[in-house]
Structure 1
Amino acid sequence: MWDASKTWAPGVSNRIYHQGDKGGYVWELQRRLRFIGYYAGKINGSFDKQTDRAVRDFQYRFGLKVDGLAGARTKLKLWRATRHMAAPQQRAKAPAPAITQAKPMKQVPRSNAGLSQQDIQIISQAVHAEARGETYVGQVAVAAVILNRLQSEKFPNSPSAIIYEPLAFEAVADGQINMQPNQQARKAVYDALNGWDPSDGATYYFNPVTATSDWIWGRPQIKQIGKHVFTR
């Protein structure tokens, strides 16, 4: 029988796990991430896309380098946060408070595609601030651009880091990002999470009436939806 303690005890294993890996360690990784509310997928021992997102979100909220790699520091931090977790064959009692650097999230619904409620909130704020005057399709397209950036190695590895990247979004510069999003903006984010991408894979967009950057005009244009031109 596989003994998780041999892999999870601090200082024992130096192996780095990443997307594409499979096996007992990944099964235990998923189990521990679920215990503190960062993972809602199947406990199947397969380091898939949803597991990768859960690891990255855990790293972001615990002050670690956000790279999706379950290396020594990430494993140790996760072990400390879940060390009161019951073994698989035991019935878990009420867990003692985890030692964390951030308040653990509530259980993430499957429809969130591995993102936390905090992630959904900040993306909704960006959609509302950037596109509240646009059609609903245009709002979904803006949400899709943020998610497309999340999948690209050219951008930061979390929604917050993407949105607050310097000069990335006008709504951050003028403070409108702090507005509370309406229900339509939230719905647009969930539609994008469920796979609707009206932007056809865009990672940028701009308003041609107000854009002054020669650089953005030089990006390959895909389509225009409302006032926004979507580009690669």
Structure 2
Amino acid sequence: MKKTLLLLCACMLIVAGPVTTATKAEAAFGKGELKVGAAGGDVYELQGRLKYLGFYTGKIDGRLGWRTHRAVRLFQYQFGLEVDGVVGSDTKRKLVEASKLWAPGVSNRIFKKGDRGGYVWELQRRLQFIGYYSGKIDGKFGWQTDRAVRDFQYRFGLKVDGRVGPKTKLKLWKATRRWSPQAGKVPQRKTKVTGLTQMKPMAQVPKHTSGLSKHDIDIIARAVHAEARGESYTGKVAVAAVILNRLESEQFPDSPSAIVYQPLAFEAVADGQINMTPNLRARKAVYDAINGWDPSGGALYYFNPVKATSRWIWGRPQIKRIGEHIFTR
């Protein structure tokens, strides 16, 4: 009798097998799909894991709105999944694998010298992708990784401390939007921007759109064409970058249309020039901005000093001037 029971238990263990990542994903998120409009604990975790990896920058509020949907699509693109914004079993499994070290309350975890595994692998690959790291991809945060991080921080105007926190993660993610886990090292041109060397995307228009729809891109391109038609190409990219910076900021609406058509936001909307058909350079400028090139230096506003009479806009902290526009925070 005892032998029979032991044999039965052994069979059950063989059938059950070890706990798989899929099972862990289901335990973390539940079995149902998460779509726009979903709310609750599963969405809190989704946002927490996405923020931990640098894909989500909004509030962790447990509501799957446009900003969370876009972060999901960005994650899906980067990890070779179907880009549909729906968090199903494949996306859950990949997200759990990519954020193994995440736990509630550690979304802003700082990685530093001595750490290993998890995000360090991705950190090394992204730094290698833009030419800052030439060492072995081993998941160990050693002196070479530390030096590469410090060099990246210096070049991109961050605090140079070798510690990879939310700001460094986000800046690195933006600078490596074309990276994917399957990607190799891709050479890129360097361009001088106010004394700093930043990575400028190559000339070709990228195939992906970082989760933005064709309508979103068309709206931004119309704004760029109308607002910066007489500006240099850098000036056009800077205007596109301002719109994308607003999209990432919690101070502004969470869709390109709402940002562009926000009352008194853009002169081109008021005078009707927003309805002009954008040219190819305006569209290309949008793609370059999507790929992480931000000549504005992170600006949220810009104005023409010859025309501007508002004391408020003149009082904003100024970052730089490109052509006829002054860019501010």
TM (normalized to structure 1)?
0.61
Alignment partner of 1:206 out of 303, 308, 329: 303
Give 2:95's aligned residue.
45
Distance in structure 2 (CA, Å) of the matches to 1:120 and 1:13: 28
Distance in structure 2 (CA, Å) of the matches to 1:175 and 1:217: 25
Give 1:142's aligned residue.
239
Give 1:172's aligned residue.
269
Alignment partner of 1:114 out of 211, 220, 236: 211
Overall identity of the aligned pairs, in %: 61
Give 2:32's aligned residue.
7
Q: Which runs of 5 or more residues in structure 1 are unaligned?
A: 49-108
1:17-71 deviation line (CA, Å, top 9, x unaligned): 142237xxx9xx8799x878457xx93236x9xxxxxxxxxxxxxxxxxxxxxxx
Give 2:137's aligned residue.
none
TM (normalized to structure 2)?
0.44
Asked which structure has the greater CA Rg, the reply is 2
* Mapped contact 1:129–1:176 kept (Cα < 8 A): yes
Alignment partner of 1:21 out of 49, 64, 76: 49
What is the correspondence of 1:20-169 to structure 2 with a 5 Å cutoff?
Answer: 20-21=48-49, 37-38=84-85, 43=91, 44-45=94-95, 111-169=208-266
* Mapped contact 2:30–2:42 kept (Cα < 8 A): no
**1:185 matched to 2:282:** yes
* Mapped contact 1:123–1:146 kept (Cα < 8 A): yes
Quote the offset at 1:8 in angstroms: 4.6
Deviating 4+ runs (over 6 angstroms): 29-32
* Mapped contact 1:124–1:181 kept (Cα < 8 A): yes
Quote the offset at 1:116 in angstroms: 1.1
1:190-226 deviation line (CA, Å, top 9, x unaligned): 1111111111111000001111111101001111111
Greater RCO structure (CA 8 Å; 6+ sep)? 1
* Mapped contact 1:137–1:198 kept (Cα < 8 A): yes
**1:196 matched to 2:246:** no
- For this pair of structures, how many residues does the alignment match? 164
What CA RMSD, in Å, does the superposition of the two structures yield over aligned residues? Answer: 3.6
Q: Which runs of 5 or more residues in structure 2 are unaligned?
A: 1-22, 51-67, 99-205
